[in-house]
Amino acid sequence: MGFNIVVLMKPVPDPKEPPKFKPDGTLDRVSMKLVMNPYDKPAVEAAVQLKETYGGNIVGISMAPPHAVDAIREALAMGVDEFVLLTDRRLAGSDTLATSYAIAMAIKKLWNKLGKIDMIMCGIESSDSNTAHIGPETAEWLGLPSVSYIDKILEVTNEYVKVKRIIEGGYMTLKVKLPAVLTIAGTTYTPRIPTLRDVIKARSKPITTWSLDDVNGDPSKVGLQGSPTKLLRMWQAEMKRKGKIITDPDPDKAVDKLLEELKKDGISLFVR
């Protein structure tokens, strides 16, 4: 039957590198290496599996600085067919509401281009802010139903999608009318590791760059002026650990000393 699927992917700062901050306390994304948000990888995997089963086309969308192309290439190597990078200086400082607005405007433009979009997928959250807002907020801007924390897609037709959703203490099964926005949890869909051939092939896949004007976005709804939430300060946590080294030639006495120190710290152990 073939589905047109849009996958939202956020390039995030590489966790292997120390964070860099601007004078206002926000992350300096321009000077940091960006990688694919790990929480978005299960969403890409779910979309690729649907394409492999039913056919169709997958288009990725990211809102990020221009140098995010390396992170985008990873999604292309995993099986995304083409990608749209929404980048504009006026988008800098956008909170989740402003970001979801800009992404929704890009989806509308893409919708007009493709003629239809069946599903919009994304991860449950991003590793740099962990708000879990973008999926549901994008759905609101588009006027579409949304389902969060999806463990598995059970059935898909041209009219609806049936999903298994994670809830507190268990699961629930939902049947949702298409088109819909789905946020995918990393519980069932294990992201594939691209082969060297996939990586090389991804270099020839198209990446389209759009500005805010290209998607007919309202500048008053993005950036700092369009963000009701203001980030006051962000800083790196200081890790301070106070260690104790216990030595004794007699192992039994060393264990007794360890238990005594733990007891002083308020830790009770039951040893059988």
Give the domain CATH number at 183: 3.40.50.620
**Strand pairing category for 82-86 and 11-13:** unpaired
Question: Which range among 26-35, 127-136, 203-212 shows the weakest confidence by mean pLDDT?
Answer: 26-35
Could you list the beta-strand ranges (E) of 110-159. Answer: 119-123, 146-156
Give me the residue label for tokens 């946590």: 237
pLDDT of residue 272 exceeding 60: no
Question: Which range among 48-52, 124-128, 189-193, 218-222 shows the weakest confidence by mean pLDDT?
Answer: 124-128
User: Does 229 map to a domain?
Assistant: no
Same domain flag for 61 and 158: yes
Same domain flag for 177 and 144: yes
Q: Is 175 helix (H, G, I), strand (E, B) or coil?
A: strand
Same domain flag for 146 and 199: yes
Same domain flag for 91 and 175: yes
Q: How confident is the model at residue 238 (pLDDT cuts 50, 70, 90)?
A: confident
What was the pLDDT predicted at 140?
97
Average pLDDT, the chain: 90
pTM of the entire structure? 0.82
Same domain flag for 96 and 151: yes
User: Does 226 map to a domain?
Assistant: no
Same domain flag for 272 and 163: no
User: Does 127 map to a domain?
Assistant: yes
CA distances from 171 to 79, 131, 148, 161, 182 (A): 29, 22, 12, 16, 16
Q: Average pLDDT for residues 152-174, to the nearest whole number?
A: 96
Q: Are 126 and 37 in contact (CB under 8 A)?
A: yes
Q: Summarize the chain as % helix, strand, coil (round to 5).
A: 30, 25, 45
Same domain flag for 18 and 124: yes
What was the pLDDT predicted at 227?
85
What was the pLDDT predicted at 13?
86
Where b means 16+ CB within 10 Å and e means fewer, 15-30 reads eeeeeeeeeeeebebe
Same domain flag for 155 and 272: no
User: Does 9 map to a domain?
Assistant: yes
Give me the residue label for tokens 């800009």: 102
Residue 10: Cβ-neighbour burial (10 angstroms; 0-12, 13-18, 19+): buried
pLDDT of residue 127 exceeding 90: no
Write the pLDDT tens digit of every residue in 5-32: 999 999 998 888 877 777 766 677 777 7
- What total of structural domains would you count in the chain? 2
The size of the chain, in residues, is 272
Query: Measured between alpha carbons, how far is 15 from 42 in angstroms, rounded to an integer?
Result: 19
Q: How far apart are the first and last CA of the chain?
A: 62
Query: Measured between alpha carbons, how far is 41 from 25 in angstroms, rounded to an integer?
Result: 29
pLDDT of residue 269 exceeding 70: no
The residue that leads in pLDDT, 258 or 231, is 258
Same domain flag for 145 and 261: no
User: Does 235 map to a domain?
Assistant: no
- State which residues form the domain around 272: 241-272
Q: Average pLDDT for residues 167-194, to the nearest whole number?
A: 96
Query: Which candidate, 110, 158, 164, places its Cα nearest to that of 138?
Result: 110
Write the pLDDT tens digit of every residue in 97-122: 999 999 999 999 999 999 999 999 99
Same domain flag for 54 and 159: yes
87 φ/ψ angles, rounded to the nearest 5 degrees: -140, 130
CA distances from 23 to 20, 176, 226 (A): 10, 45, 21
pLDDT of residue 236 exceeding 80: no
What was the pLDDT predicted at 271?
56
User: Does 62 map to a domain?
Assistant: yes
What was the pLDDT predicted at 24?
66
Same domain flag for 139 and 259: no
User: Does 231 map to a domain?
Assistant: no
Q: Average pLDDT for residues 198-225, to the nearest whole number?
A: 94
Q: Average pLDDT for residues 250-260, to the nearest whole number?
A: 87
Same domain flag for 79 and 136: yes
User: Does 230 map to a domain?
Assistant: no
Write the pLDDT tens digit of every residue in 66-100: 989 989 999 999 999 999 999 999 998 888 999 99
